[in-house]
């Protein structure tokens, strides 16, 4: 069994990568050998070495050891569109066994792996499977990032229900105040704290691009 966390979100653009990086730092501070993984990524850039994703590169750079990019991000697609659509356009089938193989390779070097999902919990990865199936295949406890904006309470509660129904452990959630125009941020966070069953691991302000989360998150108990 691989130890670590699978990080999902209520939507795309809610700060999953920044949260993953801070979780990696916290685990490293405890003495763990850590790497990150982003199994599927769209919106990649074409370099001389092939397609690379900015978020996956940040996870690779934060790792405790040198890790091949292909293990961090086994499936990379250039168009910034839903991954199953990007994959189908290139004639690629996103295969869960390939993702499990890449994770196993990482786990031979690391004692903790932080895996970043793509989009939300139910984003399709192929014709029949979703990111939820990826999470179940990897078997890791789940942390949810909630982008605090209109509609997020519903999204968060439905995501929690789906995580619980999958049989995975829901280890915690993080409020990320991504929308400065939201007029009821405190009330929204309070409603989530009242209704979600897992502990809140952090309440993040609207951060500047690239700003680190040092001291703003905690690991699950």
In 3-state terms the chain splits into helix, strand, coil percentages (rounded to 5) of: 35, 20, 45
**Tokens describing residue 124:** 């399709």
Report how far apart the first and last C-alpha atoms of the chain are (Å, whole number). 19
Q: 102 φ, ψ to 5°?
A: -65, -40
Judge whether 47 counts as a catalytic residue: no
- The whole-angstrom distance between residue 191's C-alpha and the CA centroid of its chain comes to 23
Rounded-to-integer distance, Cα 152 and Cα 157, Å: 8
Q: Which two tokens stand for residue 203?
A: 């309440």
Name the token pair of 14.
Answer: 């809610």
Give the 3-state secondary structure of residue 166: helix
Bridge partner list, 50: 47
Indicate the length of the chain as a whole number: 221
Report the alpha-carbon angle 213-218-220, nearest 5.
Answer: 140
Select which of 7, 8, 11, 38 is catalytic.
38
Please list the active-site residues.
38
């Amino acid at each position: 069994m691989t130890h670590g966390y699978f990080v999902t979100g209520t939507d795309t653009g809610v700060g999953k990568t920044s949260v993953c990086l801070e979780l990696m730092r916290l685990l490293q501070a405890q003495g763990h050998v850590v790497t990150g993984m982003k199994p599927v990524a769209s919106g990649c850039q074409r370099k001389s070495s092939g397609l690379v994703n900015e978020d996956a590169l940040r996870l690779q750079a934060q790792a405790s050891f040198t890790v091949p990019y292909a293990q961090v991000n086994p499936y990379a697609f250039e168009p910034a569109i839903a991954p199953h659509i990007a994959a189908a356009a290139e004639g690629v089938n996103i295969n869960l066994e390939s993702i499990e193989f890449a994770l196993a390779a990482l786990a031979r070097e690391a004692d903790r792996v932080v895996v970043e999902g793509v989009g939300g919990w139910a984003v399709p990865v192929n014709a029949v499977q979703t990111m939820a199936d990826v999470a179940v295949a990897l078997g890791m406890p789940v942390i949810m990032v909630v982008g605090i904006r209109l509609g997020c309470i519903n999204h968060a509660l439905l995501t929690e229900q789906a995580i619980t129904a999958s049989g995975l452990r829901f280890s915690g959630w993080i409020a990320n105040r991504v929308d400065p125009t939201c007029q009821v941020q405190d009330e929204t966070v309070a409603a989530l704290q009242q209704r979600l069953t897992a502990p809140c691991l952090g309440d993040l302000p609207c951060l500047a691009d690239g700003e680190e989360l040092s001291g703003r998150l905690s690991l699950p108990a």
